[in-house]
Amino acid sequence: MASISSGAGAAALRRDFLGSALESSRPKNVIPLHRSIIRASKSSPKLPNRRLRVAVIGGGPAGGAAAETLAKGCIETVLIERKLDNCKPCGGAIPLCMVGEFGLPLDIIDRRVTKMKMISPSNVAVDIGRTLKPNEYIGMVRREVLDAYLRDRATASGAEVINGLFLQLDTPQRPNEQYKIHYTHYDGSTLGGQKKTMEVDAVIGADGANSRVAKSIGAGDYEYAIAFQERVKIPDDKMEYYQERAEMYVGDDVSPDFYGWVFPKCDHVAVGTGTVTHKSQIKQFQAATRLRAKDKIEGGKIIRVEAHPIPEHPRPRRVLDRVALVGDAAGYVTKCSGEGIYFAAKSGRMCAEAIVEGSENGARLIDESDLRKYLAKFDKMYWPTYKVLDILQKVFYRSNPAREAFVEMCADEYVQKMTFDSYLYKTVVPGSPLEDLKLAINTIGSLVRANALKREMAKLTL
Amino acid sequence: MASLFSSPLPSTLLPTLSTKPHLSLKHPATFLLSPLIRRQYSLFLARSSDANGAGVAAAVEDKVEEKVEKESGEGLGSNGAAAAAAAVVIEEPPKFKDPRWVGGTWDLKQFEKDGKTEWDAVIDAEARRRKWLEDNPEASSENEPIIFDTSIIPWWAWMKRYHLPEAELLNGRAAMIGFFMAYFVDSLTGAGLVDQMGNFFCKTLLFIAVVGVLVIRKNEDIETVKKLIEETTFYDKQWQATWKDDTPSGER
């Protein structure tokens, strides 16, 4: 995965993107004095005798991070999660920066992946990870462990965690009134739970790809991929191979627009694949993935089969009045790699920070402009990352020749260094211009060669 | 029983059987004789009817000399038993094998002709290998890692084979367009070639003609270029949607 844009390019991207964005934003409740500046809502009423009350719907990484930041900011926080021991279907990979930024204890991480193998459609295998320093790794976590840890931290900071299912949201009739949340409380006493309501000032929707909060604010739909995964328990000697290694298989047989993977988990491997455009053939793609990894997972037993939608791009509307979406509910999953855990947690934290700031630690009511500040900050910080990964997906996941070129490029050390630096630390690093030029020439060369071979292949055996 | 398998099936289901001789003419050294080829076709059919789930098309390459010989030995039994045995024994598609493919890469010494490596043959061999694997995906094995990199084939070999013919074609098109446009403009405006080159509008037309010849090489390219332009900005539009105040449309 090459880092195509240099620092100047990334800055230009940000300028172009946000220049138009800021000019066209006109939040509903605040009358801006200048058309291009979002005013802080000092005109919002001070809350009498109570603190701001915010409900976080969904207790995954996004919800947990948001709830913790809100609670630390002296805001009355309630987190509603429908399944506290949810074992989510997920790759489970977190970048190094997440461990530092969120202060994750190292025992949460089951495995440290330091080697990755990329395998092309014609089985050319390239090892990447030579450039990693000894303290750098991709952390593999179990989602139930990570999610529970973040929720517990939120509770420790003062948030209230409720085991319940969010049903619907009643928007207030008059401005500055509270939202009414309908939910089913699973308190163990009644079978099927008890229907309850709650009044809150703001809502953070962190309830994932099938978000109900998103539906209730009419956020619109996104295109999504189906990720299908089988957890396979393989014999110990085969597990040795995957001790610190993850594999990525590319090819039309494995997926027409994504990749197949074998990721090591605590004591088994997860073999899976995904697709956006050919969802009905996902089982065939999974069989093809298993075939490609056959030698290495032979003798394994499938202990679990799971599937989940993965958003491809953000929803058309991510914020409405005092309701904001974060994480998968907002659609913050990168292209090319399909990474979402870090962005979910980061967006949850950013949204919560914006609420804390806009409400002056819970003293004032917030409004949409505060939530839009979170959007602006998130978009500005991560737009280059998303755009670069989108370009990579468009260029290298197009067709088999493009994938062959992709794997060929991954053998280059400069590419590996740039890829890992930008993945592990989530910044698009500007490399040296000369190396970038060499990389561009090599990329074009690889693509041209692979496409020439494809033309030869088309002439054979029609 | 060779006739039992080969005569009815290939004629109805495999019209490409007739193209086989063409390929064997191209590379006589590696291809087997026709009778063995036909037997292999029928066996592939029996296998593909098992619905592997990996979308295996009837493979045409018969690099697997050992496998075919094994099947011909089994075919010596009775008809029915041979049919059942053949269908059951072949559970996995035959692996790619080629005498010049050694240790996960092409052995360049085997491609030598008059002391120099014949790069065209290397390109052909790699194309066949990729085609084979596209039709019959194989498990990636740690014992025989594939390390071939297309960049070992020098740039001038690629250029001679792919760039030069295309360049000749495009230059020819440009020359024809240029000649007739120059004549046409001259007949309309009376400006000769030298006068046309001094005029800004004519130079712009020349530029458009050159770019057009380069970018639009097939009829489909017009659609492709339009789609590409839309694609480059699509993702940006999806991200900016939240900043526009109009009601969100459905799936974009």
Residue A303 has pLDDT above 80, yes or no: yes
Query: What is the reported pLDDT for A346?
Result: 96
Residues of B in contact with A24 (CB under 8 A): 243-245
Q: Hey, is the C-beta of A243 within 8 angstroms of any chain B C-beta? A: no
Q: What is the ipTM of this complex?
A: 0.77
Which pLDDT score, from 0 to 100, does residue B191 have? 86
Residue of A nearest to B155 (CA): A445
Classify residue A258 by its DSSP letter: S
pLDDT at position A43, please?
Answer: 67
A287 → closest Cβ in B53, B148, B151? B53
A138 vs chain B: nearest CA distance in angstroms?
22
Q: What mean pLDDT is predicted for residues A136-164?
A: 94
A23 in contact with chain B, both atoms CB, cutoff 8 A: no
For A121, which of B134, B158, B242 is closest by C-beta distance?
B134
Mutation target to probe the B interface, by most B beta carbons within 10 A, among A118, A221, A291 is A291
pLDDT value for B14: 38
User: What value does the mean pLDDT take over residues A20-49?
Assistant: 54
Q: How many CB atoms lie within 10 A of CB A240?
A: 10
Q: How far apart are CA A110 and CA A220, in angstroms?
A: 37
Q: Do B19 and A461 touch (CB under 8 A)?
A: yes
When scoring B136, B150, B246 by the number of chain A Cβ atoms within 10 A, the one with the most, hence best to mutate, is B150
For an interface test with A, the pick among B138, B163, B239 (most A C-beta atoms closer than 10 Å) comes out as B239
For residue B79, the model assigns a pLDDT of 52
pLDDT of residue B113: 87
Nearest-Cα distance to chain B for A160, in Å, is 30
Mean pLDDT in consecutive groups of 10 residues from the start of chain B, 252 residues:
40 40 42 44 42 38 41 44 48 79 88 88 91 88 85 91 92 94 91 89 91 89 89 88 63 38
Residue A118: pLDDT over 50: yes
> How deeply is B28 buried, as exposed, middle or buried, from its count of CB atoms within 10 A (0-12, 13-18, 19+)?
exposed
**Interchain CB distance below 8 Å, A453 and B138:** no
C-alpha A223/C-alpha A185 separation (Å) is: 32
> Is there a contact between A318 and B236 if contact means CB atoms under 8 Å apart?
no
Is residue A234 predicted with pLDDT exceeding 60? yes
Residues A178-222 pLDDT 10s: 999 999 999 888 888 899 999 999 999 999 999 999 999 999 999
Task: Please report the residues numbered 102 through 121 in chain A whose beta carbons come closer than 8 angstroms to any beta carbon of chain B.
Answer: 119, 121
Contact B240 A17 (CB under 8 A): yes
| Statement: residue A144 has pLDDT above 50 | yes
Mutation target to probe the A interface, by most A beta carbons within 10 A, among B235, B247, B249, B251 is B235
Residue contact A387–B235, C-beta within 8 A: yes
Question: pLDDT averaged over chain A?
Answer: 88
A437 touches chain B (CB under 8 A): no
**For the residues A24-30, what does the mean pLDDT come to?**
46
The 3-state secondary structure of chain B reads CHHHHHCHHHHHHCHHHHHHHHHHHHCCCCCCCHHHHHHHHHHHHHHHCCCCCCCCCCCCCCCCHHHHHHHHHHCCCCHHHHHHHHHHHCCCCCCCCCCCEECCEECHHHHEECCEECHHHHHHHHHHHHHHHHHCCCCCCCCCCECCCHHHCCHHHHHHHHHHHHHHHHHHHHHHHHHHHHHHHHHHHCCCHHHHHHCHHHHHHHHHHHHHHHHCCCCCHHHHHHHHHHHHHHHHHHHHHHHCCCCCCCCC
What value, to the nearest 5°, has the Cα angle with vertex B192 and ends B188 and B193? 115
